[in-house]
A and B are shown apart, each in its own frame.
Chain A
Amino acid sequence: MTEIIVVTSGKGGVGKTTTSASLSCGLARRGKKVAVIDFDIGLRNLDLIMGCERRVVYDFVNVIQGDCTLKQALIKDKRLETLYVLAASQTRDKDALSSDGVRRVLDELAAEGFDYVICDSPAGIEKGAHLAMYFADRAVVVVNPEVSSVRDSDRILGLLASKTHRAELGNGGVKEHLLLTRYSPRRVATGEMMSVTDVKDILGLDVIGVVPESADVLSASNSGVPVILNESSDASRAYDDAVGRLLGETLPLRFIDEPKKGFFARMFGG
């Protein structure tokens, strides 16, 4: 049974691609066979975050248009045996993605025995975002604790509840999860930033993860190594917890309280 998970948000720049990369690595690291697909046609980026940009020969649109087979287009990750990347097309027009084409690719991945397909949605609510969510079983809605991100994510929740295959079938719809990124416990403590509970209350979703604001996320993208693989990082542990929860584990939320600082850290650590 293949589970299709869309990583979506509405607003751009909140961490969809970072999240897609880390969740797919985390699932693969636990032995699952995973394909991660970049739906951002024209603005390919997942390949960079995954560090496989120089190995892209064929892309998603090539597969849909029959220029190559799916096997030829799937890029096998060099670190994790069971992880594959399908890059977005860089040059062609957005209409190159069709609902039928996407369905064929997903069906073929299911036939190949993939456990998970992670669909990295583009920002916005246009065709790419629509197709990324359309066939999903579950949705990870990536949100920053900030007004525009929260509002946009609520728009996305509206679309998940109406414009998806599962919603149309009327059998319970897409299961939605909230993943907060760029969370700063310090600023939450001073009342400058909305807390996990605030955002959870507003959106009414269960929280699958809270990723703290971390300098490691930028270094990860700089070097093309998804942040979850940097095991000394809090962001890595937070993403790994989210992976565990996706798999049904019950884990307490970490990194949501301000770390207690000693005297010297307070004086010199900023």
Chain B
Amino acid sequence: MGLLALFRRNPPTASVAKERLRIIVAQQRSARGGPDYLPLLRRELLEVIKKYVNVDPEAVQVNLEREDDHEVLELSVALPGGPAPKEA
């Protein structure tokens, strides 16, 4: 082991990099071409919802999907159990 380690090269990680990039690039490209306001819309919706329900930031999903000649804005909010936070 000790001697062998001298000759050992770094592990072949290029395939891992390629796989991770494939996924992240596909994600980036699916968001491309969509309107710039989606992230802001998502953030503001989250703030409004938070006034009433204690939701996780990840619980709000905003997606824009293209179907033939029209677009569908899909909004999904996963509501947790438990009381809403008290607002001043």
Contact = CB atoms under 8 A, between A and B. Distances in A.
Interface of A: 146-147, 150-151, 154-155, 158, 161-162, 188, 190-195, 198, 201-203
A158 B12 contact: no
B33 A151 contact: no
16 contacts: A146-B17, A147-B17, A147-B20, A150-B25, A151-B21, A154-B25, A154-B29, A155-B28, A158-B28, A161-B32, A188-B14, A192-B11, A192-B13, A194-B17, A198-B14, A202-B22
A194 B15 CA distance: 7
A148 to B, nearest CB: 10
Interface of B: 9-15, 17-18, 20-22, 24-25, 28-29, 32-33
A184 B24 CA distance: 24
Q: Name the prevailing secondary structure of the A interface residues.
A: helix
Nearest to A195: B14
A158 B25 CA distance: 11
Contacts of A188: 14
Contacts of B20: 147
A191 B18 contact: no
Given A147-B17, A190-B10, A193-B14, A203 B25 contact: yes
A191 B14 contact: yes
B25 A151 contact: yes
A119 to B, nearest CB: 23
